Amino acid sequence: MIVQALAFYLFAFVTVTSGVMVISARNPVHSVLFLIAAFFSAAGLFVLLGAEFLAMILIVVYVGAVAVLFMFVVMMLDINFTELRQGFLQYLPIGGLIGLVLLVELLVVVGGWALAPEAAHSGAAPMPPPGILPNTHALGELLYTRYVYLFQAAGVVLLVAMIGAIVLTHRQREGVRRQKISDQLKRRAEDSVEVRDVPTGKGI
Amino acid sequence: MADVPNLIPALPEIFLVCAAMALLMLGVFQTGNEGKEGVKTAQLISNLSLTTLVLTLLLVTTIASGPVLTFGGMFINDAFAVFFKVLVLIASALAITISQEYVTRQGIARLEFGVLILLATVGMMMMISANDLMAMYLGLEVQSLSLYVLASFQRDDARSTEAGLKYFVLGALASGLLLYGCSLVYGFAGTTSFDTLAALFGAHPEEAPSVGLVIGIVFILAGLAFKVSAVPFHMWTPDVYEGAPTPVTAFFSVGPKIAALALFLRIMIGPFGDLAAQWQQIVVFVAIASMVLGAFAAINQTNIKRLMAYSSIGHIGYALIGLAVAGQGGDGAVREAGIQGVLIYMAIYLFMNVGTFACILCMRRSDHMVEDIDDLAGLSKSHPMMAVALAIFMFSMAGIPPLAGFFGKFYIFLAAVEAEMYGLAVIGVLSSVVAAFYYLRIVKVMYFDALADSLEKPIGRDMAGVLVGTSLIILLFFAWPTPLLSAAAAATRGLFAG
C-alpha cells in the first residue's frame, strides 16, 4: 500500500513539475522534452489506476507520434521564441484571470456532477472488475467480437486515407538514384577497372 | 470463444473490399508506373475494377433474401438494401466505363482511380446496409474520404484541387454535425442500434420526445442533407461539380447521392419513424427550398457542369417530397407510395444523369474539354445521334411524357396528392415548369443555333455504348415499366417491415 502511495506521489510530482517546466523553459526543445516527461508520468498514473491500456496508448500515440511531430515542427520552423515571449508579464494578469474563471467554472461543473446510480450497470457492455480481467483483455474481447465490423470499417477508412495521401502528394522524380543490388552484384572488375601503363613523367 | 458472425449477408462488401486491396497490390507491383506503362496499368486496373463491380452485382442479387441482421445487428441486408446496392453498383460501373477515355486523355490515368471508386462503392454499400449509428458513420466516412481524393484527382489543375479542398472542409463540417447529432441521440436514448431506437420510440408514441433527442435528430438531418446536397446545405455542389474531373462529377451526381438518400430514408423511416411529427416539417421545407433553388439558380448558368449541379439539387428536392409524404403518417399505403416514388425516381435519375454526363464527356475541341452550353451550338448538324440522345435526356429531366423522367415525377406527385399535401405537389409542378426552361434551352441551342465550331468527331466505343443504352432505357421505360415498379414495391415493403 505504501509503495503505491509513494509511486503515486512520485508520478504526480513529476507530472506537475514537468507541466510547469513546459511553459517556463526558455528553449522550446526543452519544452517538448518536458512534455514527453509529463506524458510518461501521466501514463504511470494510469497504470496505478488499473488502466494499463490507456497508459500504453498514451505512450504510443502521444509520446511516439504527437511529441515527435512537435519536435519536428519546433526544430524545422525558424520561430523566434524569445520575441514571442515578450510582453509575457504584460499579459500575465488577464491570462491569470481567465485561467481562474475557467477553474471556478470547472469546479462548479464537477462539484455538481451526479451520476445516475443505475448508469454504471445499464451499459450494453458493462466493465468487468479489474481484478478478474485486465482491461486490455476486456477491450479486445469486445473489439474483436461484437464490434469487429466497426473495427474493420475503421481499418478501411485508414486505408483510404493512406491511398489518398499517396495519390495527392507522391511524385515520381527524375534523376533519383536508387540502389539496385542485382546491378551491383553483376558488376565485374573487368568492366570497371582498367590497368594502364603510365610512362614516368607524363600523364595519361 | 465467441461465435463467428454470419458473414453471408455482408459477402458482397467483403468481396469488394478484398478485391480493391488485391487490385491495389496488383497495380503497385506492375513493372513501371510511369508514362505509357503507367497508362497501361491504369487501364488494366480499371477494366478489372469494372469486372469486380459486375461480380459484386451478381453476388448482391444472388444472396438477396428476407431481412438478415448480422454483426450484432449493425448490418442489415433486406430488399431495400438490395435495391439501392444494385443502383449504386450500376452507377459505379457506368462511371468507370465513361471515365476510361477521359483519364487517359487528360494524363491522369493512374491505377488508384479504379481502386478509389471501388472503395467509395464499399462505403456506399455500408451506408445502405447500416443498422446502427456507428456503422452508418463509418460507412459514410469510407465513402466521403474516397470522394474527397477523387475530386482532386487532377492534382495539377488548380480548379480540381480547389474542388477537393472545398469538398473536404465542408464535408468534414457535415460529418461533425452528423456525429454531434448521433452523440446527442445516443446520450438521450442510450443506444445506437436502429432497431432498439425504433422499439424505444414505438413503445411510447403518445409521449413527446425529449428536447435533446429532437436536437440530435435535427443535427443528423442536417448532416444527411449536406450529403445529398439539399438546400440549405447545397453551397458546395456547384463549385465541386465544376472543378472535379468530369467523370468524377458524373459519379458524384449519382452514386453518393443515391446512397445518402437510401440512408436518409432508412434512418427517418426506421428508428425515427414514430417521431415523424418532429422531422416531417423540416423535410417539407428542405424539399421545397431545393426544388425552387434548383429551378431558379440554374437559369443563369453558362457552364453545363454547374447547370447539372443545380439540376441535381432540384431533383433531390423532388425525391424528398416522397419522404415528406412518408412522414405524413396516416394511411400505410400512402406512406409506402411515397417511398416507392423516391425509389423509382432515383433509379430513373441515375440513368438520365449518367447519360447526360456521357454527352458532356464527348464535348471536346482540339484536345481540350469544353464545358459551356454555347459550345453545343449546332450539335444536331455535326453529331446528329449525340444531339438526339442529349435531347432525350433533357426532355426526360424536364419531365415530358412519355419519357422515363415523367414517370419519376408522376409517382412522386401522385403520392403527394394522395397524402393531401397539395401545396407540396403544386410547388413541385410549378418549379418543374421553371426548370423545363433551362433544359429546353439546351435543346434549342443544339437544334436551332448556328454551328460555330464543330466538336471533335469520333466518339469512343464505350461512350457510344453508354449513350445508346441509357437513352434507350429512358425512351422505352414506358413500354415495360413492371420490373422497376415491382422491385421498388418489394424494396419499400422491406423497409416498412424492418
pLDDT in tens, chain A (204 residues): 788 899 999 999 999 999 999 888 877 888 888 999 999 999 999 999 888 889 999 999 988 888 888 888 877 877 666 676 677 778 888 989 999 999 999 999 998 888 777 766 666 667 777 677 788 888 888 888 888 999 999 999 999 999 999 988 887 777 778 788 888 888 888 888 888 888 888 776
The alpha carbon of residue A72 is apart from the nearest alpha carbon of chain B, in Å, by 25
Q: For B63-93, write each residue's pLDDT tens digit.
A: 877 788 888 889 999 889 999 999 999 999 9
Residue B415 maps to a domain: yes
- Average pLDDT (B248-258) is 93
- Average pLDDT (B123-139) is 94
The alpha carbon of residue A167 is apart from the nearest alpha carbon of chain B, in Å, by 7
Instruction: Give residues with Cβ within 8 angstroms of B445, minimum separation 6.
Output: B373, B374, B376, B377, B379
The alpha carbon of residue B396 is apart from the nearest alpha carbon of chain A, in Å, by 37
pLDDT at B106: 83
Quickly name the fold that domain A1-103 has.
Four Helix Bundle (Hemerythrin (Met), subunit A) (1.20.120)
Residue B408 maps to a domain: yes
pLDDT at B1: 46
Q: For B43-58, write each residue's pLDDT tens digit.
A: 889 999 999 999 999 9
The proportion of chain B whose per-residue pLDDT surpasses 90, expressed as a percent, equals 52
Q: Which amino acid is at B202?
A: G
Q: Which amino acid is at B99?
A: S
Chain B residues touching residue A150 (CB < 8 angstroms): 74, 134-135, 138
Contact A38, A15 (CB under 8 A): yes
Contact B407, B344 (CB under 8 A): yes
- Could you check whether the bond before residue B247 is cis, i.e. omega within 30 degrees of 0? no
pLDDT at A82: 67
Instruction: For chain A, give every domain's residue range.
Output: 1-103, 132-167
Q: How far is CA B145 from the centre of its chain?
A: 16
Pick among A167, A169, A170 to test the B interface (most B CBs inside 10 A): A167
What residues 148-207 of chain B have any CB closer than 8 A to a CB of chain A?
A: 148-149, 152-153, 155, 164, 190-191
What residues 148-167 of chain A have any CB closer than 8 A to a CB of chain B?
A: 148-150, 153-154, 156-157, 159-161, 163-164, 166-167
pLDDT at A38: 93
Residue B322 pLDDT more than 50?
Answer: yes
Is B145 within 8 Å of A164 when comparing Cβ atoms? yes
Q: How far apart are CA B269 and CA A95, in angstroms?
A: 51
Is B2 within 8 Å of A145 when comparing Cβ atoms? yes
pLDDT at B2: 58
Q: How many domains does chain B have?
A: 1
pLDDT at A6: 92
Nearest alpha carbon to residue B412 among B346, B470, B473, B477:
B346
pLDDT at A170: 82
pLDDT at B174: 93
Q: For B13-37, write each residue's pLDDT tens digit.
A: 999 999 999 999 998 888 766 667 8
- Average pLDDT (B114-136) is 94
Chain A residue whose CA is closest to B140: A157
Domain span holding position B474: 276-498
Residue B137 maps to a domain: no
Q: How far apart are CA B379 and CA B448, in angstroms?
A: 9
Residue B327 maps to a domain: yes
Residue B352 maps to a domain: yes
Contact B481, B407 (CB under 8 A): yes
Residue B31 maps to a domain: no
pLDDT at A123: 67
Residue B291 maps to a domain: yes
Residue B368 corresponds to which cell in the numbers above? Answer: 481540350
Residue B168 pLDDT more than 60?
Answer: yes
Is B149 within 8 Å of A167 when comparing Cβ atoms? yes
Q: Which of the pair, B412 or B107, is modelled with greater confidence?
A: B412
